[in-house]
Amino acid sequence: MIIENTISLDKIDLAILRLMQENSRISNVHMAKELEMAPSAVLERVKKLEQKNVITQYTARINPVAVNLKLLAFISMKASHSIGCMDTANELSKLKEVQEVHIIAGDDCYLVKVRTTDSASLMALMRNSFSKIPNILSIRTTIVLETVKEEQQLVIPEK
């Protein structure tokens, strides 16, 4: 028995991904017209893309300012030893203000993206939560003054 773990996507799959990435509330009927096939066939493919974990979520992007999240910061951290790297990263991931946790190459160990109401709430997060996480040796916080572009849209290849 061969375990299939190669995800192979054809032209139509990629086109569906492109459409749904642009607007996840697009109807199957609309996609079907675009792709010149039956809505039921589109639905079938969409479901497979979900099952295969190619599509991981349908989400509404919300203006952060509208919900009073005005501060964005990137935090680079050094860890005391790389052994505990994953534990530390997992702890960081649990915090809901933390949008991203990356393990990086280079001087530092982690890069963390954080969104809070203001600098006071960032300070509170660091004092109350970061301080409890083990292995963190040093922290360097970079405040975002202005975001010119922010997407997670992927460049989906032709074939």
* Chain residues in the site for a second copy (CB under 8 A): 7, 9, 14, 17, 20-25, 52-64, 66-69, 72, 74, 86, 89-90, 92-93, 96-106, 108, 111, 115, 142-157
Closer to DNA by Cβ: residue 15 or 133:
15
Say which amino acid occupies 127.
R
- The number of beta carbons lying within 10 Å of the beta carbon of residue 133 is 18
- Burial of 153 from C-beta contacts in 10 A (0-12 / 13-18 / 19+): exposed
| Least spacing, CB of residue 17 vs a second copy, in Å | 6
| Least spacing, CB of residue 90 vs a second copy, in Å | 7
27 binds DNA (CB under 7 A): yes
Q: Which does 133 bind (CB under 5 to 8 A by kind): DNA, a second copy, none?
A: none
Both tokens of residue 52? Answer: 């295969």
Q: Select the residue interacting with DNA from 7, 44, 119, 134 (CB under 7 A).
A: 44
Region 68-127 residues binding DNA, contact defined as CB under 7 A:
none
Q: Which does 138 bind (CB under 5 to 8 A by kind): DNA, a second copy, none?
A: none
What letter would DSSP give residue 76?
A: E
Contact status, residue 111 vs residue 75, Cβ threshold 8 Å = yes
Cα angle for residues 122, 112, 124 (degrees, 5° grid): 15
Count of residues in contact with DNA, rule CB under 7 A? 15
What letter would DSSP give residue 129?
A: T
| 103 vs 112: CA distance, rounded Å | 9
Q: Select the residue interacting with DNA from 7, 23, 24, 43 (CB under 7 A).
A: 43
12 binds DNA (CB under 7 A): yes
Interacting residues with DNA (CB under 7 A): 12, 27-30, 36-41, 43-45, 48
